[in-house]
Chain A
Amino acid sequence: MDLAYWLPLFFAGAMGLALLIYVLLDGYDLGIGMLLPFASDEEKDVMVAAIGPFWDANETWIVLGVGILLIAFPQAHSIVLTSLYLPVTLMLMGLILRGVAFDFRVKAGDARKAMWNRLFALGSLVASVCQGWMVGAYVTGLTGDTTSTLFAAMIALTLPALYIMLGAAWLLIKTEGELFRKAIRWGRLAVFPMGAGLLLVSVATPLVSPAIADKWFSLPNAIGLLPIPLSTAVAYAGLIWIFHSKQILFNGYGWLAFVALSVICVMASIGLGYSLFPEIIIGQLTLWEAASATESLLFTFWGAIIALPAIIGYTIFIYRVFRGKATALSYE
């Protein structure tokens, strides 16, 4: 077996998986953060309790994703992060504010709680917008011209909408009563901007990137790709239906909304992966050109195939421990 061929492929897959899990998991955290200003003070506490035990581990997936980029594709890591210097810096500041607000809002005294709630929401919003911006700039090959800037701006608005949907869907799982009904309203409002954004991005992607257009519309690839837009459309229709069906929502099947969103995210990442492959930076660098030395990749590979299943295993365990409706967070 040719390790120099397969190892970069393995790490590209692992990186994609880590970033997909990040979007799904920290996506709901950030979404709930952005929804915070629209809730009453008691509801804010419940919303934070719904993500409190999870957010730290959720955020670690982006460290793994960027970590794999750094370990396996150091050349690409340098190009991506230096080109995205400002959005990365702003995103980090957003994540810092969001992360520390969890603790400060309950530990810095009641007088400052409102300020930390606002910083929680602000941090979540800034991080989400910057992540969208980064995705947009990355997909257009980090060129920084006007079209790609417009494209990045479009995704910078779409991703927060997706995160808000994930947040509302998570609240359907973790809350009840008035907050549950609010989550339904939020979901119904956000689903259309999110859909419009996704549609626009899908239409714009081949327009701004001839390389991607080529991959999408050449036969027979185009036929093989059809399941991606089709299942996305079905999941999206399902999502709207779920948010409008009292029977589903009030009989404990609210989690289906999260499933539908997961399908959309999985399909989007498959589509993105397909559009980029075999390049890691469009028009500049392939996976293999950017890869580290094979012996370094192999050393990390052994660690990764032992550690990743363990991580997934204990992540599931922790979600089981905290299953059910959110209760007030207490250290006791």
Chain B
Amino acid sequence: MDFDPFVLARIQFAANISFHILFPTITIGLCWVLLYFRLRFTFSGDKAWEYAYFFWVKIFALSFALGVVSGITMSFQFGTNWPGFMERAGNIAGPLLGYEVLTAFFLEASFLGIMLFGKERVSNRTHLVASSLVALGTTASAFWILSLNSWMQTPAGYRIEEGVLFVESWWEVIFNPSFPYRLAHMLNASLLTVAFLIMGVSAWRALRQVDGPATWKVMRTGALMAAVLAPLQVFIGDLHGLNTLEHQPAKVAAMEGIWETERGAPLTLFGFPDEEEKTTHLAIKIPKLASLILTHELDGEVKGLNEFGDDIPPVAPVFWSFRVMVGVGVLMVLVGWWATWALFRRREENAEAHAWLLRVLSVMAFSGWVAVLAGWYVTEIGRQPWVVDGVLRTADVVADHSAATVMGTLLGYVGLYAFLLVSYVGALRYLATKPARSLSLMPQQRTMHDSEITAGEN
């Protein structure tokens, strides 16, 4: 077999982390939304909010389980495939991961039991506290993991002795230059993913005529979230981009497909980056726009890839992933505004009144996943050839396994993940097909029997 074990190890890590991130992206945002449903019910007494909670907590539990098991895989991957990383950067990466386990992983995993199954066993107040602790735990988890990831992008607060990294300042390590932007970008991405998921599933249920009042309450919640958070995400993304330009200019050059350093650089909308010829073919350009976006000046200087010699990331995947992320993001802004405008202007809660919107929303149920994966590919592939930017090369930390070994486990993981992903979407579909339980709150307008309603969901 003439596969490069290094490339296979990278693909394996990418497969694991791509699969993993799908589920925390949902749970980090969804647990706050669930808390909101619980509080709305506690304060208003409106059963619809409680039914909304019961429906979405099931999806939360399922997503959480997938996130936990794939997260455990991640914690082993460092050792099994990238031992050099821990040997060289363990003094910094180790404690950050350790704090994640100690302050977040246990908190969420433990109180999850009470949140899911303890409603009858503890007071409403204790249950709310337990749910809040789960939400805090997931967010704290994101805090530590993103701190470590950001440190790998923009390392700070360390010194090197004989090839091994030591800590100079924990404050600088944790709050490294790109961390605030990445944390804000990811937390907001999580909420946005959830906004489109809850709208999408609710819309799908409305189209299937299994919706109840709770379904529409959830859909409006998602619409409002999207209308506010999607434009906010564009703003945070812009700040994040400026930060990347300052610390990782090669990544930005790859994102924009810019080869030569120039003032007043045009923005390439589309094109085909070619690493052999060091050019972007068939580029459609808008004059000066790249300089304007990146430096906020019409004639600002943007460094091109040719400045960085061989230490540049694979250009085409970064270039395309970036366009996918931005494209989905723009679509989210437009659909978020449309949904808010339509759902709050016409309060009729039936599929006929909103047929087109519901179709678009149900197609976009998992659009957050697409944008999140694309965004991570931009930042992670964009960091190559480094594992710790400018400090440690990815190729220097890989484990010495044969290509056959890594290929075998890779195929195992990919097969398992494909099966789980199909099962996950299938389970969501199955749960969403049952008639909404909140129908029982309506005066009998539809021809649905009571027994069917009580047997159903949400």
**CB of A329 closer than 8 Å to a CB of B:** yes
List B73-117 residues whose CB lies under 8 Å from chain A.
73, 75-76, 78-80, 83-84, 86-87, 90-92, 94-95, 97-99, 101-103, 105-107, 109-114, 116-117
- Residues of chain A at interface, number, CB under 8 A: 63
**CB of A41 closer than 8 Å to a CB of B:** no
Is the CB–CB distance between A80 and B79 below 8 Å?
A: yes
**CB of B416 closer than 8 Å to a CB of A:** yes
Is the CB–CB distance between A60 and B106 below 8 Å?
A: yes
Q: Which residues of A contact B346 (CB under 8 A)?
A: none
Q: Which residues of A contact B454 (CB under 8 A)?
A: none
Interface of B, secondary structure class, is helix
Q: Which residues of B contact A77 (CB under 8 A)?
A: 78-79, 83, 86, 90
Closest beta carbon of chain A to B24's beta carbon, Å: 14
Q: Which of B98, B105, B110, B117 contacts A300 (CB 8 A)?
A: B98
Is the CB–CB distance between B95 and A64 below 8 Å?
A: no
Is the CB–CB distance between B75 and A322 below 8 Å?
A: no
List A49-99 residues whose CB lies under 8 Å from chain B.
52-54, 56-57, 59-60, 62-64, 66-72, 74-75, 77-82, 84-86, 88-89, 92-93, 95-97, 99
| Alpha-carbon separation in the docked complex, A88 to B70 (Å) | 14
**CB of B278 closer than 8 Å to a CB of A:** no
Interface window among B309-317, B320-328, B397-405: B397-405
Is the CB–CB distance between A293 and B170 below 8 Å?
A: no
| Alpha-carbon separation in the docked complex, A54 to B111 (Å) | 9
Interface window among B217-225, B256-264, B288-296, B419-427: B419-427
Contact mask for chain A residues 136-177; partner B; CB cutoff 8 A; 1 contact, 0 none: 000000000000000000000000000000000000000000
Is the CB–CB distance between A100 and B412 below 8 Å?
A: no
Q: Which residues of B contact A71 (CB under 8 A)?
A: 90, 94-95, 97-98
Nearest A residue to B400 via CB reads A82
Closest beta carbon of chain B to A56's beta carbon, Å: 4
**CB of A330 closer than 8 Å to a CB of B:** yes
List B97-149 residues whose CB lies under 8 Å from chain A.
97-99, 101-103, 105-107, 109-114, 116-122
Interface of A, secondary structure class, is helix
Is the CB–CB distance between B117 and A303 below 8 Å?
A: no
Q: Which residues of B contact A59 (CB under 8 A)?
A: 68, 72, 109
Closest beta carbon of chain B to A59's beta carbon, Å: 7
> Contact size class for B?
35 or more
Nearest A residue to B90 via CB reads A74
Interface window among B54-62, B198-206, B354-362, B381-389: B54-62
Closest beta carbon of chain A to B441's beta carbon, Å: 16
Nearest B residue to A81 via CB reads B79
Is the CB–CB distance between A60 and B109 below 8 Å?
A: yes
Q: Which residues of B contact A96 (CB under 8 A)?
A: 69-70, 72-73, 416, 420
Q: Which residues of B contact A109 (CB under 8 A)?
A: 427, 430
Closest beta carbon of chain A to B182's beta carbon, Å: 22
Q: Which of A57, A84, A292 contacts B106 (CB 8 A)?
A: A57
Interface window among A31-39, A199-207, A223-231, A311-319: A311-319
**CB of A289 closer than 8 Å to a CB of B:** no
User: Provided the pairs A52-B117, A308-B102 are in contact, do residues A88 and B80 lie with their beta carbons within 8 angstroms?
Assistant: yes
List A93-115 residues whose CB lies under 8 Å from chain B.
93, 95-97, 99-100, 102-104, 107-109
Is the CB–CB distance between B94 and A70 below 8 Å?
A: yes
**CB of A284 closer than 8 Å to a CB of B:** no
User: Provided the pairs A82-B399, A108-B430, A293-B167 are in contact, do residues A315 and B110 lie with their beta carbons within 8 angstroms?
Assistant: yes
| Alpha-carbon separation in the docked complex, A104 to B420 (Å) | 10
| Alpha-carbon separation in the docked complex, A102 to B111 (Å) | 17
Name which of B84, B101, B113, B167 has the most chain A CB atoms within 10 A of its CB: B101
| Alpha-carbon separation in the docked complex, A322 to B122 (Å) | 10
Q: Which residues of A contact B427 (CB under 8 A)?
A: 103-104, 107-109
Is the CB–CB distance between B167 and A100 below 8 Å?
A: no
**CB of A178 closer than 8 Å to a CB of B:** no
Is the CB–CB distance between A63 and B62 below 8 Å?
A: no
**CB of A237 closer than 8 Å to a CB of B:** no
Is the CB–CB distance between B401 and A82 below 8 Å?
A: yes
Contact mask for chain A residues 190-214; partner B; CB cutoff 8 A; 1 contact, 0 none: 0000000000000000000000000
Is the CB–CB distance between B83 and A78 below 8 Å?
A: yes
Is the CB–CB distance between A322 and B117 below 8 Å?
A: yes
Q: Which of A57, A67, A86 contacts B75 (CB 8 A)?
A: A67
In addition to A63-B101, A95-B69, 14 A-B residue pairs with Cβ atoms within 8 Å of each other are A53-B114, A56-B64, A63-B72, A64-B101, A64-B102, A70-B90, A81-B79, A97-B416, A99-B68, A107-B62, A292-B90, A293-B164, A307-B106, A318-B111
A-B contact pairs, 15 of them (CB 8 A): A57-B110, A78-B86, A78-B87, A82-B399, A99-B65, A102-B65, A107-B430, A108-B430, A109-B427, A292-B90, A311-B110, A314-B111, A329-B116, A330-B120, A331-B61
